[in-house]
Structure 1
Amino acid sequence: MLGLSAFLESGRGDKLSSPVKQFIQNLLKANMEGPYGSEWPAEEKVKRREMVAPEARYVFVRIASLGEFLTTSEREKTAASCVEERGPIVGFVHFRFVIEEELPVLYVYELQLEPRVQGKGLGKFLMQLIELIACKNHMGAVVLTVQKANSAAMNFYLYKMRYVTSTISPSRVDPLIGIEKSYEILCKTFSNEAKAILEEPLELVHSV
């Protein structure tokens, strides 16, 4: 990861400290208020409930060294964002093990990074780790939801991480309804069964 010396730690929704909860809330607001637009106030309440649920699993990213790409004031701001001996948290993944279409899948609820550590390969590294966790736990796929307005995230998942629009996404369930929805559901499958259910090859759709 370019310019970063990072280490990871795990967490659970019902075991989060108050400073960590505050960090998550602040980062979610900073990153997601724009893409959600007028939907954000209601969505923020939902996310606050989701983040502290017992089934919520976390991978937190702590930074030991931010390299040369930060100014002195930026280093001080980062250090103050979540001050702990182990170094400041600069991002996290919130995921859960759930059932979709009768398949066990790993569902990524959030992948959030502070702007100053974006574009360094950290997001790709975390998603590769999540896919490894999914495979090790015999999940059929990794599934996630992305706001259509968040073009950077859509491009990241579709083109860099090679995810596809799932059959359970509104735009594929019913294109007319899908147009009205503000999000897509993407997936990456790890078994033929999961592929058949969650991806459903497009040529089969067109041939009907």
Structure 2
Amino acid sequence: MEAKELVANGSNREKKMKRKEILEKKKAIDEIIKAASSSHRDHLDSFQPFRHYNRNGLSVYLESGRGDKLSSPLKQHIQNLLKVNMEEMYGSEWRKEEKVKRREMVAPEARYIFVHEAPNENANHISTMVEKEMSFSNSIDNRGPIVGFVQFRFTIEEEIPVLYVYELQLEPHVQGKGLGKFLMQLIELIARKNRMGAVVLTVQKANLLALTFYMSKLGYSISSISPSRIDPLIGLEKNYEILCKAFDNEAKAIL
């Protein structure tokens, strides 16, 4: 066998091994996402101390949910909360964005953490939004009203399994009491527990409070997949940044 043929055969073997490694890695990542997204899993089960938050004059407890299992009143309530908090931020783009968000909210892969205010904890402080929506109840089985939620998914970014936070929304009267930080700490624990390489989220550039919260208080940074990092000119045209917190060296290098 000539030297040239030996080199060619060696190169082919390397390519096959490389292809096999890539396929095995992809399969492993798919399995991680599948396991994390299992419909039977309650991600709060692993973090019982996080089921309750009782600080700064606020008492709430948490409950898990899925996008395809939301009742009509609950869907309406969280859509209203989203609108109250975000419509002004999006401005003229809200009508288009709201349609997208409504579809995302009820997707089978959407996962939720709902925040219930403890019954009678704040009977004298009913938010303006709830006053406007007295035609339906946002309580479930006589439990306290839902005053916030986190919507997230387990997905893949740049071949890295990540937990992507789609929404973190709180009613105005429970904001500024450490609850948002508490929920994001829980999200990061869930991500690590389920072998995600990072937590990723999108923030409107106009939402300076949110940008400060995530970057200064929680240690998130602008991701390499954010438009402004991909191309500064494209970044100028976009009204959002993609932030991330990576947990391992591979995720840090890529995201």
Answer whether TM exceeds 0.5 for this pair.
Answer: yes
Which of 50, 55, 67 does residue 109 from structure 2 map onto? 55
Partner residue of 2:245 out of 181, 188, 204: 188
Q: Which residue of 1 aligns with 2:126?
A: 74
Contact 1:147/1:184 (8 A) holds in 2: yes
Cα separation, 2, equivalents of 1:8 and 1:174: 40
Which whole-Å CA distance do the structure 1 matches of 2:239 and 2:167 have between them? 16
Instruction: Give ranges in structure 1 of 5+ residues lacking alignment.
Output: 199-208
Instruction: Give identity over the alignment, percent.
Output: 72
Q: What is the number of equivalent residue pairs in this alignment? A: 196
Matches within 5 A, 1:58-137: 58-64=112-118, 72=124, 74=126, 82-84=138-140, 85-137=142-194
Q: Displacement, 1:122?
A: 0.4
- Root-mean-square deviation (CA), in Å? 1.9
* Contact kept? 1:5, 1:66, Cα under 8 Å: no
Secondary structure, aligned partner of 2:243: strand
TM-score after normalising by structure 2:
0.73
CA contact (8 A) 2:127 2:171 kept: no
Say whether the 8 Å CA contact 2:200–2:242 is kept in structure 1. yes
Deviation at 1:73, TM superposition (A): 5.2
Q: 2:73 aligns with which of 19, 25, 42?
A: 19
Q: C-alpha offsets along residues 30-70 of structure 1, whole Å, 9 cap, x if unaligned?
A: 00101111110000000000000000000000010675xx6
Unaligned runs of 5+ in 2: 1-54
How much has 1:5 moved relative to structure 2?
1.1
* TM-score with structure 1 setting the length: 0.89
1:201 aligned residue: none
